[in-house]
Amino acid sequence: MGNPAVVLVGWMVAAMLVVGASLTWAWSWLAILFLGGGLLGVAYWITQRGWSQAREKEEKIRASLVELQKVSKRQESPPPRSFSPESLGAELQQVVNHIQKRIGNLEEERANISAIVQNLVEGVVAFDSHGHVLFGNSSACHMLGLDEQQLQGRSVWEVIRNKELAELVERCRALDFHERQRVEVDIHAPSPMIVEVYGLPFPLANQKQGSVMVLHDVTQLRRLEQVRAEFVDNVSHELRTPLAAIIGYLETLIDEPSLETPNTRKFLHVAHQHAERLNRLVDDLRSLSEIESGNVVLRWEAVGLKAVVDEVTGMLQSQGQKKGLRFLNQIAEADCVWADRDRMVQILVNLVDNAIKYSSEGGCISFLAQRLNASVVLQVNDTGQGVPSTELSRITERFYRVDRARSREEGGTGLGLSIVKHLVQLLRGQLRIQSELGKGTTVEVVLRISSK
């Protein structure tokens, strides 16, 4: 359209020439006015249209510059309200330079992240929303026996020849972003190994969801755990026979009348007490080793909680009476769980034994069961000294004691709650412990409900 100002001046000159020619040719004033006005009107319309188009172009250029500045994150100097070719070129050049710098920084950042992920000891494989590989590092390719050059774009079932891992990737795409799943699998090719795998979702573009699989080789760790379990099991087995002999001879000596001297009988009682404690420790170690090794055979059945609690409290009644403790069973006859009865007895024996040891004289140990959806929550409450909140997260660790002196006095081994934790996990339940210092402790065992 050209410069609107130049166009306007051109039309004005043309109108003046027409008016001058009309006067020369002696046209009437009415014709001259009509012709001049028409020319000026057409000139104004065309000029106004040119100005409008120029303003539209300017606004488009301004909007484009603003968008470029947003993309380049360069917003410190907004574009001017009006443009000249020189200022427009300089502004565009600045934006282009800034974008090039940003692209360079992003490329460097991407290269750094890629180098870090590629050199991780853990294997990492990322999948898109359709289960096709986006990325896999060298550790993952080594664990799974894959060719890194031919990995990208292939489907999960092509690259992972393990049904459990492939199903994990499929499940992860349906999880919420804060969730994750864990499996431990045996891989036989290219080399035998035990791999701990975590699967978690991650967001993609267009509101789609991919998944990431992180693999950690735990072969050596599991082998060492197996060695430790076998060592504990063998040592415990070998200690049982000499301990039985020591305890038997000590009991015989205690009953021997000829040894009726103050110090001798005192020493024999101390030796017998510690031999019994060592025997309990060996039994607990064997139980824990058996549970952890997975050698426990479960007999699943509907277990009535009230009857199990009555059996356990009857076994430990004399121990509780020494401290004047009351047992209060508030569980209904209908409360049943799907579990192994012998393991439930073992869990409750450890919990009640703990409650007796740490309850004050004349206290109360109560039992309650509550239904929660498809589960039953078994509560064991005591009125003992309680556990500090800072210690709660550690009391299920083996050999961990809050009050070591008192635990030794009571004959505790430090393995009771650790055994309970592993047994509850074996029964596919949950263990929760709440305690308030000076008021007592509540242990909750959450197990699946039985419909039988």
152: domain CATH number?
3.30.450.20
Confidence of residue 405 (pLDDT cuts 50, 70, 90): very low
The closest of 265, 264, 272 to 246, measured between CA atoms, is: 272
CA distances 374 to 261, 289, 309, 431, 447, Å, are 62, 31, 21, 16, 9
Confidence band, pLDDT 50/70/90 cuts, at residue 176: confident
What's the CA angle centered on 220, arms 216 and 225, to 5 degrees? 110
* pLDDT surpasses 90 at 367: yes
Reading the block at residue 344, the tokens are 């439930």
Q: 14 falls in which pLDDT band (50, 70, 90)? A: low
Confidence of residue 22 (pLDDT cuts 50, 70, 90): low
pLDDT above 50 for 24: yes
> How high does pLDDT run on average in the chain?
77
The SS3 assignment for 451 reads coil
Residue 411 — left, alpha, or beta (φ > 0 → left; ψ -120 to 50 → alpha)? left
- Whether the pLDDT of residue 41 is over 60: the answer is yes
Structure confidence at residue 368 as a pLDDT band (50, 70, 90): very high
Given 118, 133, 155, the domain boundary residue is 118
Q: Same structural domain for residues 304 and 423? A: yes
Q: How far apart are CA 347 and CA 291, in angstroms?
A: 12
Kindly write down the DSSP assignment for every residue of 233-302, as one continuous string: HHHHHHHHHHHHHHHHHHHHHHT-GGG--HHHHHHHHHHHHHHHHHHHHHHHHHHHHHHHTT-PPP-EEE
- What is the pLDDT at residue 43? 65
Question: What is the structure's pLDDT at 56?
Answer: 74
User: Is residue 22 domain-shared with residue 113, that is, in the same domain?
Assistant: yes
Q: Could you list the residue range(s) of the whole structural domain that residue 40 is in?
A: 1-118
- Whether residues 167 and 178 share a domain: the answer is yes
pLDDT at 409 over 70: no
Average pLDDT over residues 103-112: 80
162 and 36 both lie in a single domain: no
What is the C-alpha radius of gyration for the chain, rounded to an integer number of angstroms? Answer: 42
pLDDT at res. 400: 67
Looking at the structure of the chain, the number of domains it has is: 4
Q: Are residues 306 and 414 in the same domain?
A: yes
Give, in order, the Cα–Cα distances in Å from 365 to each of 333, 361, 409. Answer: 19, 12, 21
Q: Residue 342's closest CA among 312, 368, 314, 365?
A: 312
